Amino acid sequence: MQIRLVRNTGLCLLEDGGRWGYRHLGVSVSGPMDRSSFRWANWLLGNDLNASVIEITLGRAQFNITQPGQLAVTGADLGATLNGESLELWVPFLVKEGDELVFSRPINGLRAYLATVGGWKAESVLGSCSTNMRENLGGLNGRGLPLVEGDLIESSGATENRSRMMREWLIPDFNADYQYAVIPGFQFAQFAFSEREKLFDSEFTLSKDCDRMGYRLSGSVVNSSNRSLISEPVVPGAIQVPADGQPIVLMADCQTLGGYPKLGTVFNLDLDRLSQKLPGQQVSFRKISLQEAQNRREAFNSKFET
């Protein structure tokens, strides 16, 4: 199948499972911000779970269908409509030539994932088509550019229909009250007890300085005895504490090295949910053990095996 982006004032990026195995060269993994919704989009269509999808941030986009096929939309409710009629999310649907798929504005969440059977065709760079605008890697033509008006996006050519249905209770509500789980890191004990507990006793606001590299929090000032460290590897989910004491949660396109002290790491499934929050919204955190995180991850992975 084939679609054309005809209107876009948000952000549309091609993303697959990510660019793994190159962090030692300073190359970010990238990939989708909400990996859970990304995997479900592919699962609904019977795709490889790492097949390429279109990540749509904020909405404000219109696609025209130029060749028929099958699609699925997961993640945020961005007010999607098909030919002017409200579109049901998290359900595979058929489209025909001439149809119009429109995403308007965030209603529940920030990022939606548009998948097709077999994934979208794009140039692979270092084993991935994931778009990283900072590193000029991935995207439709391999140069790290977002999709723009006029771009024609084709499916990989797979036509086998293996669509599935998922249970309603598995669909997340991104507007619901939620505490994001944090696994304390090895530098956690280097913070004074009163300072590290601020992370769990306070409510933070997502600042306007939020992007695919990091989410800056605004709220209680967290003081650290180690203002800076020798740069060391960092991963998505790491909670850095810079000199101003306002924590930064690293996201999908984060750098590979960092020199700020770190309180811990947001559990990856909760990092997915955090990526769906909008600037100005409130977030809070809770502490979990590594064992609890592993149990939750295993339970999530098992859903794709049944």
CATH number for 285: 2.40.100.10
Q: Which residue has the tokens 């995997």?
A: 39
The answer on 153 and 185 residing in a single domain is no
Compute the distance between CA of residue 189 and CA of residue 286 in angstroms, rounded to an integer: 16
Q: Are 192 and 245 in contact (CB under 8 A)?
A: no
- Spell out the residues 6+ positions from residue 3 whose beta carbon is closer than 8 angstroms to its own: 63, 64, 65, 66, 67, 101, 152, 153
Across the chain, which has 306 residues, the per-10-residue mean pLDDT values are: 96 97 95 98 95 97 97 98 97 97 98 97 96 96 97 86 86 96 93 94 94 96 81 95 95 95 97 97 97 96 84
Residue 159: predicted pLDDT? 66
Q: How far apart are CA 250 and CA 100, in angstroms?
A: 36
Number of domains in the chain: 2
In a shared domain, residues 122 and 152: yes
Same domain, 84 and 183: no
Report the predicted TM-score, pTM, of the whole model to 2 decimal places.
Answer: 0.96
Nearest to 54, CA basis, from 5, 96, 98: 5
Same domain, 105 and 241: no
Token pair, residue 176, equals 């619901």
Q: What is the pLDDT of residue 228?
A: 64
Domain that holds residue 272: 179-302
Residue 227: the pLDDT is: 66
- Single residue among 149, 170, 191 that ends a domain in this structure: 170
Residues 70 and 216 in one domain: no
Boundary of a domain, candidates 170, 191, 213: 170
Same domain as 189, residue 165: no
Domain boundary among 170, 187, 203: 170
Domain co-membership, 156 together with 216? no
Q: Which two tokens stand for residue 181?
A: 């789980």
Q: Please give the structure tokens belonging to residue 294.
A: 């592993």
Torsion angle of C-alpha atoms 88, 251, 269, 75, degrees rounded to 10: 0
Same domain, 35 and 158: yes
Q: How would you write 255-301 as a 3-class SS string? A: CCEECCCEEEEECHHHHHHHCCCCCCCEEEEEECCHHHHHHHHHHHH
Q: In terms of domains, do 15 and 55 share one?
A: yes
Residues 53 and 144 in one domain: yes
* 194 and 143 share one domain: no
Q: Are residues 14 and 107 in the same domain?
A: yes
